[in-house]
Amino acid sequence: MCGILAVLGCRENSHSKRSRIIELSRRLRHRGPDWSGLHCYQDCYLAHQRLAIVDPTSGDQPLYNEDKTIAVTVNGEIYNHEELRGKLKSHQFRTGSDCEVIAHLYEEYGEEFVDMLDGMFSFVLLDTRDKSFIAARDAIGITPLYMGWGLDGSIWFASEMKALSDDCERFTTFLPGHIYSSKHGELRRWYNPPWYSEHIPSTPYNPLILREAFEKAVVKRLMTDVPFGVLLSGGLDSSLVAAVASRHLAETKVGRQWGSQLHTFCVGLEGSPDLKAAREVADYLGTFHHEFHFTVQEGIDAIEEVIYHIETYDVTTVRASTPMFLMSRKIKSLGVKMVLSGEGSDEIFGGYLYFHKAPNKEELHLETCRKIKALHLYDCLRANKSTSAWGLEARVPFLDKNFLNIAMDMDPEWKMVKRDLGRIEKWVLRNAFDDDQNPYLPKHILYRQKEQFSDGVGYSWIDGLKDHANQQVSDSMLMNASFIYPENTPMTKEAYYYRTIFERFFPKNAARSTVPGGPSVACSTAKALEWDAAWLKNPDPSGRAALGVHDAAYKESAVEHPQADSATSTIGLPQKLQVVTEATATAV
Domain ranges across the chain: 3-192, 207-577
Q: Same CATH topology for 3-192 and 207-577?
A: no
**What's the pLDDT score for residue 523?**
46
Burial code of 495-528, b = ≥16 C-beta within 10 A, e = fewer? bbbbbbbbbeebeeebbbebbbeeebbbbbbebb
For 1, 122, 227, 354, 526, the CA distances from 532, given in Å and listed in that order, are 40, 39, 46, 8, 10
Residue 549 has pLDDT above 80, yes or no: no
CA–CA distance, 447 with 435 (Å, rounded to integer): 13
Those residues whose C-beta lies under 8 Å from the C-beta of residue 237, and which sit 6 or more positions away, are 342, 343, 345, 346, 398
239-243, 533-537, 559-563: range with lowest mean pLDDT: 559-563
Cis before 62 (ω within 30): yes
Residue 562 has pLDDT above 60, yes or no: no
Count CB atoms within 10 A of the CB of residue 402: 13
151 exposure class (CB count in 10 Å sphere: 0-12, 13-18, 19+): exposed
Q: Residue 340: what are its φ and ψ, rounded to 5°?
A: -100, 145
**What's the pLDDT score for residue 388?**
98
Residue 21 has pLDDT above 80, yes or no: yes
Query: What percentage of the chain carries pLDDT values higher than 70?
Result: 87
Class of domain 207-577: alpha beta
Residue 58 has pLDDT above 70, yes or no: yes
For 6, 167, 169, 175, the CA distances from 152, given in Å and listed in that order, are 15, 10, 10, 24
- The 3-state DSSP class for residue 73 equals strand
Count CB atoms within 10 A of the CB of residue 208: 8
Those residues whose C-beta lies under 8 Å from the C-beta of residue 203, and which sit 6 or more positions away, are 409, 410, 411
**What's the pLDDT score for residue 533?**
72
Mind telling me the catalytic residues?
2
User: What is the 8-class DSSP label of residue 80?
Assistant: T
CATH of 3-192, one of 3.40.30.10, 3.60.20.10, 3.30.70.20, 3.40.50.720: 3.60.20.10
CA–CA distance, 353 with 583 (Å, rounded to integer): 5
Of 85, 441, 402, the residue nearest 219 (C-alpha): 402
For 159, 484, 532, the CA distances from 119, given in Å and listed in that order, are 16, 42, 38
Average pLDDT over the chain, rounded to whole? 88
22-31, 37-46, 151-160, 533-542: range with lowest mean pLDDT: 533-542
**What's the pLDDT score for residue 406?**
97
- pTM score, whole prediction: 0.91
Q: What is the pLDDT of residues 36-47, one digit of tens each?
A: 999 999 999 999
Q: Per-residue confidence at 580, pLDDT binned at 50, 70, 90?
A: very low
- The 3-state DSSP class for residue 105 equals helix
Q: What is the DSSP string of 198-263?
A: T----BPP-HHHHHHHHHHHHHHTT--SS-EEEE--SSHHHHHHHHHHHHHHHHS-TTTBTBSSPE
Residue type, 392: L
